[in-house]
Structure 1
Amino acid sequence: GLLASFTYFISKIENEKFSIVKFFLNHYVHYYLRYTPLYGIILLIYITLSPYLAQDGPIYPMDGIETASCRQTWWRNLLYINNFFDMRDGCMPVTWFLAVNMQFHWITPLFLLIVSWKWLLGILVSIIFIIVDIVTTSVIVSKNNYDHGLLSDLYSNRSLFSNMTNGYLNDVYVKPWCRIAPYAVGLSIGYIFYEVYQRSNLLPWDSVMRRTTIHSRSYYFKRIFIWIFALTILSLCLFGTYGDYSGHPLTRRNRIVFLTLSRFGWSIGLCAIIIDCFAGHGGIANRLLSQSCFYKLSKLTYGAYLWHSLVIFVNYLGREQPTHYTITNIFYNFICYTILSYILSFFTFLLFELPTIQLLEFCFKRSTKLH
C-alpha cells in the first residue's frame, strides 16, 4: 500500500506527460503480466512434475502434491480469487497472499483518485477500511467461536482443532476484508511521505530535520520513544499468545482482541520504523536495511516465495525416517529451505522473470512513444 500510493504521487509530479489513464492501464495490466507467468510455471510444476519428485517417501502422495486439486482449480489461482473458495480443496494454499495482494491492487486506484481530489476524504476512506477490518474480524471470530484460532488448547482435541483452524483459515485468515487495515495504513503513510517530499523537494526527511530540529534531550527522547513504541507493538503481535503455551491461558476477550488487532498493530509498528528511517533517524537499522544486497535479493523474493512450499513438502513427505522436531533441526531446515528456495528462484528469474520484465518494459515504453 505504501509503495503503490507513494509511487503514484511521485510519478504524477515528476512526469510532465503524466496520464491517469496510462498510469492505471500500467497499474492493472503491467502488474498482472509481471507476476502471473512465473506463478503459472510453478503451478504447472505442481501439476506435472510433483508426482515424480520424491516417490520413495512412505507418506508422499502417489499422484503428487495437490495434483488432483490443482488440475481442477488452477484457474482460481491465475485469476487471483482462490482465497474466496475452500482452501482445503485449492491449489498451493500458501498463495492466498498473492490473491489478497492482487485484490488490494485492484481497489488502490479508488483511494488514489479520492485522495488526489480531496486528501481528507482519502484519509477518511482509509479509516473506514480499518474499521471494516476490525469490526468484521471481531464479529466473525466471536460469532463462530474462532477465538481459539490456532492456539494451544486445541491440540488436545484433533477434530476440534481441524474444524476450528479450517474455519478460521477460510473465514478470517485469507479474506481481504479481514486484512485491509494494514494495506490502508500503508496507503495513508505513502500519501504522507509524498506530501513531505513535495514540500521539502528533497528525499528523505533528513534534509528537513537537519534544518528544523534542535538536537536537545527532548529530540533524542522522541527518537527513543518511537523505537520503544514500535518494538513493543511488534513484540505484542509476536508473543501475545505466549501465555497459552506457558500454562497461563488468555481470556476469551483477550484472544478476540489479539486475533482482531494483531495484524493492524503489526502494520503500525512497521510504519513507525519506516517513518523514523525515512526521516533519516533509523541509525544502524536504516543503514543495514538500506544495503544494496537487499535490493538485489528482492528480485528473487517472489520466486523464493512460490518455491518454498514445494521445497518443504518434498523434503518432509519424501523422508523415509521419522522427523525429530528440535530447535537445532528446525534451524538447519530453515537455512536449507531458504538457500534452496533462493537458488531455484535465481534460475527461474533468469529463465522466466527477467525475460518477462524486459518484454513488458519494451512493450510499455513503445506504447508510450506511440501515444
Structure 2
Amino acid sequence: MTMKTSSSKEMMFLHGIRSLAIIWIVVCHSYTTFWQVPVFNAQYYFEWIKSISAMFILSGAMGVDTFFLMSSMLLTLSVFRELDKTSSTLNFCQEYWWTTLLYIGNHVNPGQLCFGHSWYLQVDMQLYFLSPIILYPLWRFRKYLKVMVPLILLVASSSVIYMYLIFYWNGFRVTLFDEQGLMRDQLTYYATQARIDSWMMGILTGYILYTLEGKIVKFSRSFLTVAWILCLIGILGVIIGQYPLHQENYTKNSIHADASYSAFRRISWCLSVSWIIIACHQNHGGIAKKFLSLSIWLPISKLSYCIYLIHLPIQLVFLSSHRVPQYFTDLRVLHNSLGDFGLALIVAFGWALMFEYPSIRLMKIFLERK
C-alpha cells in the first residue's frame, strides 16, 4: 500500500449521490401518494407490492438515510477542519405547529406532523445538536484510529439493537399490509434513535476522509474487486432482501426475519454508500465516479434541500384534485413522477432564490464579521 499527495478537497461525485437520492425519494413518494386515492384495479396494486420491481420503489426510504450519512460526513469534515484552524490559530399545524418550530415533532405527537416529511428535518437537527459529544473527542484523540473506529461502530450498534427489539417486542412486520404500520413508523421511522446508525456511519466516513486528506491510498486490484462486490451485495441485499417479507403469506415468516432485516438494512446500506464515497475520493471509483461526477447532477444537487421540502406538498395538491378513482399502473405513476420532479425542480429554484440562498449569504456575512 502506497500513498501520494492530493491537494483537491472538491468531491464532485457527492452531487451525483445526492441527486440520485432525491430523485429516488420523489419517485417513492409519487407511488405512496398515489395509493391514497381510490383505484379501479386495487387487486393489481396488491399484486404489485409483492413483485421484485416494487422492492426498488419501496426502498426509496434509503435515500433519506443517504442524506443522513452525507450530512454527518460533511459536518465531521467541516468541524474537524475548523478545529484544526482553531488549534493552530394544516389542522395539525394549528394545534401542533410549535413542535415543528422546536424540532421535536417526531417525538411529540409524531402521528400529527405539519408536513409528513418534516420528521427528517427534526431528526437531522437533533442529531446535529448531539454531534459535538462525539466529534470533539473523536478529533481530540484522532491519532488513535484503532480505538475510535470500534467506538463509533459501538454507538451505531445501539440503533441496530433498538430496531431489532422494537420489531420483536411489538410484532411489527416490514410489509405495507401490517395493521400496526402507523405505530411502527412512529417508533422505527420517525424516531431519532432509529437513525443513529446512519448518522454514525456518516461520522465514520468523514473521519476516514479527514485522516486521508492530501493522500491517495493505493489498494491491490483484488482488494478493490472484493470491496466493490461486497458493496453491490449490500445495496442489492437491502433492496431485494425484503422481497419475501412483502408476500401475502408474510405472517408465516418468523418475526426474527422482519426484525433482523429492519435492524441491519440501514447500516448495511450506509456501509455500501460509505465505500462508494471513500473509493471515489481515493480515485478508485472508476466508471462510478465518472457517472456521479457528471455536471448534469450539479443543479439537482444544489436544489436537493428545496426539492425535498417542496415535492410532497406539490404531490398532495395534485392528489387532492382527483375527483374520480384512478387506474394504477407503473407507467402512469412513473409519468406522474416525472411531472412531480420537474415541477418541484422549478419551484425549488424560485424557493432557493427567495429564501435559501439569501439566508446562506446573511449567515456568511454575520460569521465573517464575527
- TM-score, structure 1 normalization: 0.74
Unaligned 5+ runs, structure 2: 1-71
Q: Aligned letter for 1:297?
A: I
Identity %: 23
Q: Aligned letter for 1:143?
A: W
- Aligned mates of 1:296, 1:361 — CA distance in 2: 21
Cα distance per residue 1:84-110 (max 9 Å; x no partner)? 023322211211111111111111111
Cα distance per residue 1:331-370 (max 9 Å; x no partner)? 1011111111111100111111121111111111111xxx
Q: Secondary structure at the match of 1:102?
A: helix
> Which sits farther off after the overlay, 324-333 or 236-245?
236-245
Aligned to 1:23: none
- Aligned mates of 1:310, 1:175 — CA distance in 2: 22
Determine whether 1:196 maps to 2:199.
no
C-alpha change, 1:278 and 1:246, in structure 2 (3 Å) is same
- Aligned mates of 2:341, 2:296 — CA distance in 1: 16
Q: Aligned letter for 2:123?
A: V
Tell me, yes or no, if the aligned pair for 2:100 and 2:114 is still in contact at 8 Å. Answer: yes
Tell me, yes or no, if the aligned pair for 1:136 and 1:177 is still in contact at 8 Å. Answer: yes
Report the Cα offset of residue 16 of structure 1: 6.3
Tell me, yes or no, if the aligned pair for 1:152 and 1:245 is still in contact at 8 Å. Answer: yes
Report the Cα offset of residue 111 of structure 1: 1.2
Q: Secondary structure at the match of 1:116?
A: helix
Determine whether 1:306 maps to 2:309.
yes
Aligned counterparts, 1:52-131, within 5 A = 67-119=90-142, 120=144, 122-131=148-157
Structure showing greater Rg: 1
Report the Cα offset of residue 122 of structure 1: 4.1
Aligned to 1:221: 222
C-alpha change, 1:276 and 1:242, in structure 2 (3 Å) is same
Tell me, yes or no, if the aligned pair for 2:163 and 2:194 is still in contact at 8 Å. Answer: yes
Tell me, yes or no, if the aligned pair for 1:226 and 1:276 is still in contact at 8 Å. Answer: no
- Aligned mates of 2:111, 2:263 — CA distance in 1: 23
Q: Secondary structure at the match of 1:171?
A: helix
Cα distance per residue 1:1-40 (max 9 Å; x no partner)? 2111122223344x36867xxxxxxxxxxxxxxxxxxxxx
Determine whether 1:171 maps to 2:196.
no
- Aligned mates of 1:292, 1:129 — CA distance in 2: 37
Compare relative contact order (CA 8 Å, sep 6+) and give the higher one, 1 or 2. Answer: 2
- Aligned mates of 1:90, 1:112 — CA distance in 2: 30
C-alpha change, 1:196 and 1:314, in structure 2 (3 Å) is same
Tell me, yes or no, if the aligned pair for 1:87 and 1:93 is still in contact at 8 Å. Answer: no
Determine whether 1:145 maps to 2:146.
no
Task: Name the structure with the higher helix share.
Answer: 1
Cα distance per residue 1:147-202 (max 9 Å; x no partner)? x13x0553xxxxxx2xx1111111121111111011111111211111111xxx34
Tell me, yes or no, if the aligned pair for 1:11 and 1:18 is still in contact at 8 Å. Answer: no
Q: Aligned letter for 1:194?
A: Y
- Aligned mates of 1:339, 1:129 — CA distance in 2: 39
Q: Secondary structure at the match of 1:282?
A: coil
Aligned to 2:259: 256
Question: How many matched pairs?
Answer: 294
Aligned to 2:25: none
- Aligned mates of 1:153, 1:309 — CA distance in 2: 23
- Aligned mates of 1:16, 1:68 — CA distance in 2: 47
Q: Aligned letter for 1:195?
A: T
Aligned counterparts, 1:1-371, within 5 A = 1-13=72-84, 15=85, 67-119=90-142, 120=144, 122-146=148-172, 148-149=173-174, 151-154=175-178, 161=179, 164-197=180-213, 201-202=214-215, 205=216, 208-209=217-218, 219-246=220-247, 249=250, 250-367=253-370
- Aligned mates of 2:300, 2:185 — CA distance in 1: 30
Tell me, yes or no, if the aligned pair for 2:167 and 2:258 is still in contact at 8 Å. Answer: no
- Aligned mates of 1:235, 1:181 — CA distance in 2: 19
Unaligned 5+ runs, structure 1: 20-66, 155-160, 214-218
